[in-house]
Structure 1
Amino acid sequence: MNRDPFVSKLMFPWKRFWGGTWKRRAQLGGRWYPFEVFIIGIIFIAVPYFGSNNIAHLYLEDAFSVFPENSFDRSVPVINWMIIPYAALYLFYPATLILAPKDDKGRLELVSAMQMLILATLFCVMFFLLFPAEVDMRDAIDWDSMNGIETILFEFIHTSDKPWNAWPSLHIVHSYCLARMMTHWLNNNYSETKWAKPFL
């Protein structure tokens, strides 16, 4: 079955976009390449997300103000320790860069993964701005019941991320995509190492 040309362009590395980065892939013994990919991620993933988050918080009205949350939302208790796996997403980004194989195949897989994240981010950001959704459950948190790590993580999330951009969940999309890529590399490149086995 022939693949749609438009879909193919989205799936395969974008030559014009990555051309300069690819030419520099061997600089500093290959260490420059993941750093440059990281910078591109900040520009095309972090900036659009946090930009839309703050735009919604400062200037937009909740498109779902009639039903921003429902009784089910309030019936689910806050489980303090769940902030740890939630915040672990922020470790997935550097971990992905570290685990990516240092050969050309691994580099192509890395840019393909980055493209997937960029497209998912821009798609979700479009929804965030056209249909802003605020779901603020922060008043349900029992701060006195937390330990130090939980408090630090909750405060970090609350400071960096306003309670907007509720739907669709970019957090879940990124977590899934990055976990799949890391699992792929662990299976194919690190499966025999002791430290990798608990993750497989």
Structure 2
Amino acid sequence: MSDPAPIPFGARFWRLWKPLWKHRKAVNGLLYPFLLMFTVLVLISPYMVFNRMAAWADHTPLSAETVAQRDTLKVSQQDERTAWDPKSLFKDDEGRYLDYKIPVVDWSIWFYLSLFAYYLGFYAARKNDRGRAESLVMAQGWVISSWIAFPFFFFFPADIDLRWQLNLEQMTPLYQFLFKAFHALDKPFNAWPCLHIAQSFIIATGVARWWMQRKWTWAVWLLWPAWAGLWVSVLTTKQHFIWDTIMGTLLGVGVWFFVMRPGFRHLDATPDESLPVSQLG
């Protein structure tokens, strides 16, 4: 008899999920996805700490001369809080920053805010132990992506100096409210890798898997264009640099390929009675 295949990292479930697993069938299985989402959000909450640390660091206000040259799109509007300017990689032939040249599209904030709908993705998994185990694969990938990004936020802070391009006064009251509310919540730091892209991709791959299991091909065909809209929106809402989107995409794809994909494949090859959940009780 051959030895069982080793459990890949993506399917080695952390013991911290044990209290949640015990309640996996509560409220007809509806409580478990909520508890999983809540726990993940707690585990990734240091995001706000790094965001505020970078924003509140001592710095010298921009000079009037620097501000006066904004419209040339050639003068960076950053201060000493930035360790390295990501937009410096992308300029046109005249020396203008490509990040500054990207137009503002106010209505694209709906795509940007759609990230919060992705948080409900755990509810797409099947309400049996196999579906719940698959949810853990996605949850761990989500957490891992954040903790990979946190050291970059800390050691390479970058002021996302793009919000000055938003002409809020010319927007409708609704869009003014949405932009101002989000700016109050999320300071223009934690630039790269872009977790908005990485985490939404990680969740989308899990949701697409579960919808395909239900034969909801039409929903998957809608999901990926919607995700592409989210990807573009981080630029057109002036929330991130081009470099951030590239690194966020690489992070999301990397976590999926090296963590989630092997984890899902292991579960697919494992019968229900042998799922790697024994340590969860």
TM-score (norm 1): 0.83
Written as runs of structure 1 = structure 2, the 5 A alignment for 1:46-195 is 47-59=45-57, 61-64=81-84, 67=85, 69-70=87-88, 71-94=97-120, 96-189=121-214, 191=216
- Give the C-alpha shift of residue 140 in structure 1: 0.4
Percentage of pairs with the same residue? 31
Question: Separation in 2 of the partners of 1:136 and 1:116?
Answer: 30
Pair 1:147–1:185, CA change in 2 (3 A): farther
Pair 1:197–1:112, CA change in 2 (3 A): closer
Question: Separation in 1 of the partners of 2:208 and 2:29?
Answer: 22
CA deviation string 1:31-79 (max 9, x = no partner): 221121122112112x121121112111373212xx3544111111111
TM-score (norm 2): 0.61
Matched to 1:105, the amino acid is R
List structure 1 runs of 4+ shifted beyond 6 angstroms. none
Larger mean Cα displacement after TM superposition, 163-172 or 53-62: 53-62
The number of residues matched between the two structures is 188
Question: Separation in 1 of the partners of 2:220 and 2:101?
Answer: 37
Question: Separation in 2 of the partners of 1:134 and 1:81?
Answer: 24
Q: Over the residues paired in the alignment, what is the CA RMSD in angstroms?
A: 2.3
Matched to 1:63, the amino acid is A
Question: Separation in 2 of the partners of 1:154 and 1:49?
Answer: 20
Task: Name stretches of at least 5 consecutive residues in structure 2 with no aligned partner.
Answer: 1-5, 59-80, 89-96, 224-281
Asked if 1:30 is matched to 2:29, the reply is yes
Question: Separation in 1 of the partners of 2:8 and 2:86?
Answer: 38
Question: Separation in 2 of the partners of 1:156 and 1:79?
Answer: 17
Structure showing greater radius of gyration is 2
Task: Name stretches of at least 5 consecutive residues in structure 1 with no aligned partner.
Answer: none
SS class of match (1:91): helix
Pair 1:149–1:183, CA change in 2 (3 A): farther
